[in-house]
Amino acid sequence: MSPNTSTLEWKASPLRYVCQLNPPVSFHEFEEDDELTFLPMDRVKSGYFIPNTDKFSKYASSYNAFEDGDIVLAKVTPCFENGNIAIAENLVNGKGFGSSELFVVRATVVDRKFLFYYFQSSTFKQEGEASMTGAGGLKRVSPEIIREHHVFFPPRISQRIIADYLDRETERIDALVVEKLRMLFLMEEKRATFISHVITRGLNPDAPLKSSGLDWLGDIPTHWEVRRCGTLFEEVDERNQPDLPLLHVSLNTGVTLRVFSDDRIESVAADYSSYKVAKKNHLVFNKMRFWQGAAGIAPEDGLTSPDYTVASYGNEIFPGYLQFLVRLSLFSNEVRRYSYGMVDDRLRLYWNEFKNIRIPLPPFEEQHLIVAALSKEAKRIFDLEDALRMSITLAKERRAALITAAVTGQIDCSSDGINCSTENRASVVLR
């Protein structure tokens, strides 16, 4: 970038001359049982870290060491792209160690907070991403980027002004994002509560009720039935149709058509002739994850894992109603009760146990009406959630653009520089 009137005093330098990469840290004063801060990769977030400790005796050469004031920066994908970076502060006993997938950077010539923000700029991140080597999810940023990347920086006092400005502005944007995330959580909760109520109570709030005889279900309309799954479903084990598309059973989305990524070869050697066939509208569930919601209705004819369960059912059940029912958290808890295993990760719902689960069954036409009402209301809430997610994305993009603009001299953050009022701040973008 060519200096302009506000950047005449800025200097360019390779990063190796303004900071140290993985600097030495002495632990000679510690005993084996002394507690130190320990940071696995998942403890380093975007701009902060979650405190954690371990004994000094656990420290080994495979870990990276750091001390108060050092910057820890993720180097592996996707953590690097996500901006997982923090300044080590308030460490237990002043020092710590963590994942080998972290760069430890110690500012020497430049202000550490300015450098902290610079590492979050698109100027640095784009070059870091371009330097990545490795396969698939094991790609890492080259350490040469920390040594050779040229950083453009102003005098110390200006670095501090920029860092202070970004502290204020990112805190404001972060608070806005937190509030929007809270609203999103409340909307998701409202949607789930509404669906649960309508699936188990129906649409008529004045309908007379009766006890279902089930703790998880409570009272239901008097004209509804409660039926054992064994009277409604039949297990299906059809195979040898390898040309059908693959289906994916997800905790979040139920049963969907599996989409393969373009950048890697998947399941090349799989013997699809052994996969189970699920016809359109068949119930499919993962025996080990049904209690977490891994179930749903097949959207089209397809193949699913030989370890999953496929079930057909008659015309007493409307597929849309069943789709909503099997993905209720209340129902998942009931599935858990019928699942076998010593620990959660080993819980399995076998067919004989599935047959004994009892479910509410409204009249078929009422199931239609319930699904129509749920689909309409769920779409309305989904649209509001999508709008919130978009505003969160835009706020994060604005935050990233503001950081890049500030640390590369595209805006003047000093009191006698450009007007940094709320209205102007919101419109700052990269030139």
**Residues 391, 295: Cα–Cα separation, whole Å:** 31
Q: In terms of residue numbers, what domain contains 190? A: 157-202+367-431
What domain count does the chain have?
A: 3
Q: What local confidence, expressed as pLDDT, does residue 425 receive?
A: 38
Residue 289, Cβ neighbours under 10 Å: how many? 21
Same domain, 238 and 274: yes
Same domain, 145 and 290: no
Assign residue 245 the CATH number of its domain: 3.90.220.20
Is 295 in a helix, a strand, or coil?
A: strand
Same domain, 128 and 188: no
Same domain, 221 and 356: yes
Q: What local confidence, expressed as pLDDT, does residue 328 receive?
A: 93
Give the pLDDT confidence of 192-212 residue by residue, as tens digits. Answer: 899 999 999 999 999 999 999
Q: Check: pTM over 0.95? Answer yes or no.
A: no
> Which of 307, 330, 361 delimits the end of a domain?
361
Same domain, 169 and 76: no
Same domain, 129 and 180: no
> Which of 361, 384, 407 delimits the end of a domain?
361
Q: What angle do CA 279, 264, 255 make, to 5 degrees?
A: 25
Same domain, 212 and 356: yes
Cβ atoms of residues 137 and 363 within 8 Å: no
Same domain, 20 and 59: yes
Give the pLDDT confidence of 117-175 residue by residue, as tens digits. Answer: 999 999 999 999 999 998 766 899 999 998 999 999 999 999 999 999 999 999 999 99
Same domain, 146 and 211: no
Same domain, 258 and 141: no
Residues of the chain scoring pLDDT < 70: 1-7, 136-137, 260-270, 415-431
Same domain, 246 and 134: no
Cβ atoms of residues 159 and 11 within 8 Å: no
Same domain, 228 and 351: yes
Q: What local confidence, expressed as pLDDT, does residue 1 receive?
A: 40
Residue 262, Cβ neighbours under 10 Å: how many? 5
